[in-house]
Amino acid sequence: MQALSPLDGRYRAKVEALAAYFSEEALNRARAEVEIRYFISLSKESGVKQLPKVTASQEKALHAIYKKFSTKDAAEIKTIEKTTNHDVKAVEYFLKKKVAKIKGLNKHTEFIHFGLTSEDVNNLSYGLLISRSLKAVTIPAVSDLVADLKKLAVANRSITMLSLTHGQPATPTTLGKEMLVFADRFNRQLDQLKDFRMSGKFGSAVGNYHAQKAAYPRIKWEAFGAKFMKSLGLDPLANTTQINPHDDIAELSHIVFRINTIGIDLSRDMWHYISRGIFGQELIKGEVGSSTMPHKVNPIDFENAEGNFGVSNALFAHFAEKLPISRLQRDLSDSTVQRSIGTAFGYNQLAISSLRKGLSKLSLNKKIIQKELDSHPELLAEAIQTVLRKNGVSNAYEKLKAVTRGTHVTKKDMLDFVEKLKIPKEDKNTLRKLCT
């Protein structure tokens, strides 16, 4: 009831899956994972003689620190941060206490956060969290939406309906094909989302590994860092400033932005189909459509989807525009912006959920569809004039324009026009069938 964001209040249940990747607790868990895995990698580097290679039991205990990371651990880090006023340093101090309790490692805790700047830990942590959230939440959600659209397309593949171009009656289309248009558009972006990989920056204060090289100049730190980042499933960046330049998040933002935009387009089209009566909506007992008009069954799921896709896009647009820009070797403005990445994905997830709910409640009204088609026999003009062109009839377009443009015509008018045509019998019979 007192949540500042509706994602953590009204809509929490619908975006709960994202909390495992974008809560502050999740971020600190990821930071702990990066630090621990780095510590283990250092121990296996023969040139770091002061840190013995961890034993199998020590390695298991180290991995357990982040694998069993609890809300209590997260709270402890927050308590430490009250003193440090630095979240990554608080994680370092927390881990040093944990590692010191592992037999044989109490003298080696200074290799936690060895030679690192906070951005080394942060960017790799975000890389892990975003990569995992895409695989576990976002990609499945978009895939499920595509499956819904394909199911709707198959069920209505033979349903012919009136088209509207420029808001005006146009050549008929099939409802199934219209749903496949959106399925194909989502699939194109989904393919790019599946191929996308987060990048990683690792290299101390300004990306040169100066701190590590000062301590161990003979180690090939660039190769070490690249290998470590690959072990996390991230693409290593060879040349950086203090920070990951965030081109990866910008690229991802543009992909999700397009997914959201397609979602807005679909939401608006479904809203129009419902407004025209082509689709009705399932009645839910006890549900109210309007506080004063009892007859209303509003397309609220599609309206909610449109609104939430828009909020998500506002954030992703800002990420793409702002994050790749950093003054000289770094400024801190990216840090506070990155904290809202989960919010952007939250509104995306919420919008997809609303869109899928709306699609699940649709019921087709064939009578309305046929009534619309019957009310616009002038739509046959395109087919008729094309047949005339085929047969070399001059000014075919102009002849049909004179009969149909800006005036009300009936099927009889169109049939009378066809009967006067001097074209082969087979083609005339085809046009007669269209007009009856």
Q: Which residues are catalytic?
A: 166, 290
* Phi-psi group of 422: left, alpha or beta (phi > 0 → left; psi -120 to 50 → alpha; rest → beta): beta
CA dist 80 and 103 (Å) reads 24
- Pairing of β 235-236 and β 199-200: parallel
The tokens for 175 are 């409802």
How distant, in Å, are the alpha carbons of 301, 358, 392 from that of 308? 11, 14, 53
How distant, in Å, are the alpha carbons of 68, 89, 105, 424 from that of 80? 19, 9, 22, 90
Q: What single-letter DSSP state applies at residue 341? A: H
Q: Are 188 and 142 in contact (CB under 8 A)?
A: no
Counted residue by residue, the chain has a size of 436
Q: Which of 408, 407, 384 is nearest to 396 (CA)?
A: 384
Q: What single-letter DSSP state applies at residue 410? A: -
Taken in order 150, 154, 156, 162, the sign of the CA dihedral is positive
Whole-angstrom distance between the N-terminal and C-terminal Cα of the chain? 61
Helical packing angle, 247-276 and 118-133, nearest 10°: 30
The b/e string for 36-62 (b: 16+ C-beta within 10 A; e otherwise) is bbbbbebbebeebeebeebeeebbebb
- Pairing of β 160-165 and β 168-174: antiparallel
- Give me Rg for the CA atoms of the chain: 31
The tokens for 2 are 């007192």
CA dist 181 and 188 (Å) reads 11
Q: Are 41 and 231 in contact (CB under 8 A)?
A: yes
Q: Are 341 and 249 in contact (CB under 8 A)?
A: yes
Q: Is 199 helix (H, G, I), strand (E, B) or coil?
A: strand
Q: What single-letter DSSP state applies at residue 55? A: P
The tokens for 253 are 């933002």
